[in-house]
Amino acid sequence: MTTANLHNQYPSIAEFIAEHRWKACFYPGAWESAEREIPVFEPATGERLASVGIASAAEVARAGLRARQAQPAWAATPFDQRAAILREAARLLQQEAESFIEWNIRECGGARFKAEWELNICVEQLQMAAAMPMQANGELFPSSMPGRTNIWRRVPMGVVAVISPWNFPLLLSLRSIAPALALGNAVLLKPSEFSSVTGGLLLARLFELAGVPQGVFQVLPGLAETGSALVSDPCVKMVAFTGSTAVGRRIAETCGGLLKRCSLELGGNNALIVCPDADLDAASSSGAWGSFLHQGQICMQAGRHIVHRSVVAAYTEKLKDRAERLACGNPFTEAVQLGPLINAQQRDRVHGLVQDAVHQGATLVTGGEYKELCYRPTVLIGVTPDMPVFKDEIFGPVAPIVVYDDIEEALALVNASPYGLAVAIHTGNATRGYEWAGRIHSGMVHVNDQTVNNEFQVPFGGMGASGYGGRYGGPANFDEFTERQWVSLTSDPIQYPF
């Protein structure tokens, strides 16, 4: 069936989903059946929801060639036409919001408010990207040569590969896809195998309906083989990866050997410092939100609560009360704040970290229990810096509390981690908080707030084992998804001595 026929027969994304047009398919610019497929399960129930096709290494290679051929015409498309397509994608996403929200809840296990927030910020992300093509893309520089004009301008990278995770499958895909397309690149997207529909094939249908030309945007679901093929494909000029530090290191090694640009937003073990003069109600609210939102399955999760000795008892009690008020269950059928962890392997890893801390002398204040994949919000006190629950990225609803006696000790505890994504500081003196932020090795520091912050117009990213710095958002997008080119112009050819 041709794309035109699909548009006519299934005009909305909801109808397209209902007919399962993407069953066992992938999207190399049109809907094609794959030889192999990935089952899609609902974490809350274990129900098989669907299947999607796996793009093999050979299919990735064909997709790369197709994208390389389609990209020049897309880059040459007048800026207002590219902007119009992105605005149409934003309109369609808003129009079809409920389909995206329901799939996000069921496939990824997040609460409804989280899925709704993610949908709304993605609409705004597309709208912001639509404004990018009309911005100035060059600068003039003087020349010592009479009659010469020097222009330093941005040109598209070419073909950009986006490898995105499952925890925020729309946001963490679109934050790369939208600006890359806006600036004239073709995009190959590999979503996580745990969010292949929400973070992959629904976006394929969205951009198909919005009018992105065939080959310019392709979705290639799969496992490690698919991702590896994308990273090493000679047609791909840049890789934008969001995921674990271990995988990010391997991608960086491959891209380095190929002299290929890569953008890495990796894991985090983020700290929340509570000073003796902090507002403890606000601090515990930030602590609960930072540790328990989306079951703690966020790279910016507050995984280390570093609390002054004079307020640790009061802070712990307030955090415990907030944790115990949270309901866990099936977010698609129940009004809950926490849903399931993504799979049994992650549940067992989280529980193992909690049990190990207790065995080493920490006290379980609340939580530490689970039913199927729903893990209760957990607070631990008496944690020491040598425990894995303090040193490792948890990616679960666990709040380990470590005590400090002076701010130098607190800052040293923060900076002892190889990660450097996000830090929060709660203090009665915001000016001192700002000064301390300058001494912290972290891409983001929030004073009197929590660690899980995202504003799409502000450059976002981490340091150290958390990535390459503020690479996404606002003005950073222009430099991230373009190359810089020097063009000089002279009216009359220059004659040289020989």
* Per-residue tokens: 249: 């290191």
Question: How far apart are alpha carbons 116 and 104 in whole angstroms?
Answer: 9
Name which of 127, 64, 74, 93 is nearest 207 in CA terms: 93
Does residue 102 have an active-site annotation? no
In single-letter form, the type of residue at position 142 comes to: P
Contact 182/155 with Cβ under 8 angstroms?
Answer: no
**DSSP per-residue codes, 111-138:** -HHHHHHHHHHHHHHHHHHHHGGGS--E
Question: How far apart are alpha carbons 353 and 397 in whole angstroms?
Answer: 11
Residues 6+ apart with CB under 8 A from 267: 244, 245, 299, 393, 419, 421, 465, 466
- Give the dihedral sign, CA 296/300/302/304: positive
Q: Give the side-chain half-sphere CA count within 13 A for 212.
A: 32
Q: What does the longest C-alpha to C-alpha distance in the chain come to?
A: 83
Categorise residue 46: left if φ over 0, alpha if ψ from -120 to 50, beta otherwise.
Answer: left
Beta-carbon neighbour count of residue 142 at 10 Å?
8
* Per-residue tokens: 433: 């908080």
Given the residues 118, 265, 393, 480, select the one marked as catalytic.
265
Report the catalytic residues: 265
